[in-house]
């Protein structure tokens, strides 16, 4: 049977009336137990193993029954276990920031654990991730979240109190932590960029600047601006960097006029020393106008002039450059592009308009 229940013992005796009865527990008479049956008070686990018997008496004598042993099992009950039994948030929690740890509540009993209240003694600590009342079935567990948000520098402590139907309620969980001052700093690497001399109307190769949060608290960059003649990618703002997080800027120099064009990247934030600056150095230079000067030997025949042809493919694809016959032995091609190799030939034309075969080919590589 289960603790809290009653047990009834009954005897059937025959013989000459009248019959009298006396029930005994563990060999001792039970007061008032003088009927043919006996019902115990509500049992406890302490009653388990007790023996009960009855003595029946009439004029012929007394007979004693065999003893019956009572077994009492514990009533189903919840049992609460918390892990960990205390939570230490350490000594590196920045004032105003949140850190959290899990708290596992396990029902190690045999009945449903019903939690009516979970309270915290200090306002810098909080609990979340549950709804009250919270029921945890036997053998099951529930994980809740415990958070710490220090408001001042220095140590602080508190306690979680869990009120439930467990026999050991309330269940405490000790809390401790320490707040430290927020440090808002940014590291800039490098602090200057040099692009050298770049032809106006063109763009330099990109160079990078890395911005790193070197403090212990989030830093919000509100704006990143840079001087004219320079452009940037990767620097959209506002943006928030957590500790050790980085942002990389890609910077290009785009001179539009010749001359020195030094500038600055300005990084505005809530970090100490804001705004941070990156110095930019660059010089715009006038583009070099390249040309190709051609000369050739005069034809051994009588001619009226010459044609000049050009191609970007060696040995074919020639296109005539001159609109009228060239009467001298030189020609300057000013319409050339940087980075291209050109191939040239000439031909001689007589007074009848007859044109010779092409001369030997020459090439010119434009730097």
Count the neighbouring beta carbons within 10 Å of the beta carbon of residue 217: 19
Q: How far apart are CA 129 and CA 104, in angstroms?
A: 11
- Looking at residue 240, what is its pLDDT? 96
Q: Tell me what the pLDDT averaged over the chain comes to.
A: 95
CA angle at residue 338 from 333 to 344, to 5 degrees?
Answer: 35
**Cβ–Cβ < 8 Å for 22, 64:** no
- Looking at residue 287, what is its pLDDT? 83
Residues in CB range of 155: below 8 A, 6 or more apart: 91, 176, 177, 178
Q: How far apart are CA 32 and CA 41, in angstroms?
A: 13
Task: Write out pLDDT tens, residues 60-83.
Answer: 999 999 999 999 998 899 999 999
Q: CATH number for 186-285: choose from 3.20.190.10, 3.30.1330.40, 2.60.40.10, 3.40.50.261.
A: 2.60.40.10
Where are the chain's structural domains?
8-69, 80-180, 186-285, 292-365
H/E element, 57: strand 51-58
Task: Write out pLDDT tens, residues 151-195.
Answer: 999 999 999 999 999 999 999 999 999 999 999 999 999 999 999
Task: Write out pLDDT tens, residues 282-292.
Answer: 999 998 889 99
Q: Which two tokens stand for residue 286?
A: 């006038």
- Is the N-terminal amide bond of 190 cis, ω within 30° of 0? yes
Q: Which two tokens stand for residue 53?
A: 């018997």
CATH topology of domain 80-180: Immunoglobulin-like (2.60.40)
pTM over 0.75: no
- Is the N-terminal amide bond of 316 cis, ω within 30° of 0? no
Domain spanning 292-365: CATH superfamily? Immunoglobulins (2.60.40.10)
Would the CATH topology of 80-180 be identical to that of 186-285?
yes
More confident residue, 288 or 55: 55
Q: Which of 143, 2, 129, 25 is nearest to 84 (CA)?
A: 143
Q: How far apart are CA 301 and CA 263, in angstroms?
A: 64
Q: Which two tokens stand for residue 46?
A: 């302490």
Q: How far apart are CA 280 and CA 285, in angstroms?
A: 16
């Amino acid at each position: 049977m289960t603790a809290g229940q009653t047990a009834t013992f009954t005897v059937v005796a025959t013989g000459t009336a009248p019959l009298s009865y006396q029930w005994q527990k563990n060999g001792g008479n039970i007061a008032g137990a003088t009927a043919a049956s006996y019902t115990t008070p509500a049992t406890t686990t302490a009653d388990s193993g007790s023996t009960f018997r009855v003595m029946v008496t009439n004029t012929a004598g007394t007979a004693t029954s065999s003893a019956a042993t009572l077994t009492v099992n514990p009533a189903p009950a919840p049992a609460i276990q918390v892990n960990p039994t205390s939570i230490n948030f350490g000594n590196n929690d920045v004032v105003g920031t949140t850190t959290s740890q899990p708290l596992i509540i396990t029902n190690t009993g045999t009945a449903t654990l019903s939690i009516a209240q979970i309270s915290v003694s200090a306002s810098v600590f909080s609990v979340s991730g549950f709804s009250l009342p919270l029921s945890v079935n036997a053998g099951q567990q529930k994980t809740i979240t415990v958070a710490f948000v220090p408001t001042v520098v220095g140590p602080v402590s508190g306690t979680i109190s869990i009120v439930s139907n467990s026999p050991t309620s309330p269940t405490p969980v000790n809390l401790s932590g320490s707040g430290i001052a927020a440090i808002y700093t940014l590291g800039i690497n490098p602090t200057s960029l040099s692009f050298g001399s770049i032809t106006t109307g063109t763009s330099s190769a990109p160079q990078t600047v890395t911005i790193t949060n070197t403090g212990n608290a989030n830093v919000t960059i509100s704006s990143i601006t840079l001087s004219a003649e320079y452009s940037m990618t990767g620097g959209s703002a506002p943006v928030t960097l957590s500790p050790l997080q980085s942002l990389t800027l890609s910077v290009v120099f785009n001179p539009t006029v010749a001359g020195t064009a030094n500038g600055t990247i300005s990084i505005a934030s809530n970090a100490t020393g804001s705004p941070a600056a990156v110095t930019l150095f660059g010089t715009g230079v006038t583009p070099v106008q390249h040309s190709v000067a051609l000369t050739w030997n005069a034809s051994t025949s009588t001619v009226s002039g010459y044609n000049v042809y050009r191609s970007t493919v060696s040995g074919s694809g020639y296109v005539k450059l001159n609109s009228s016959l060239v009467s001298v032995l030189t020609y300057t091609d000013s319409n050339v592009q940087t980075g291209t190799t050109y191939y040239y030939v000439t031909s001689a034309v007589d007074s009848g308009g007859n044109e010779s075969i092409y001369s030997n080919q020459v090439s010119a590589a434009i730097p």
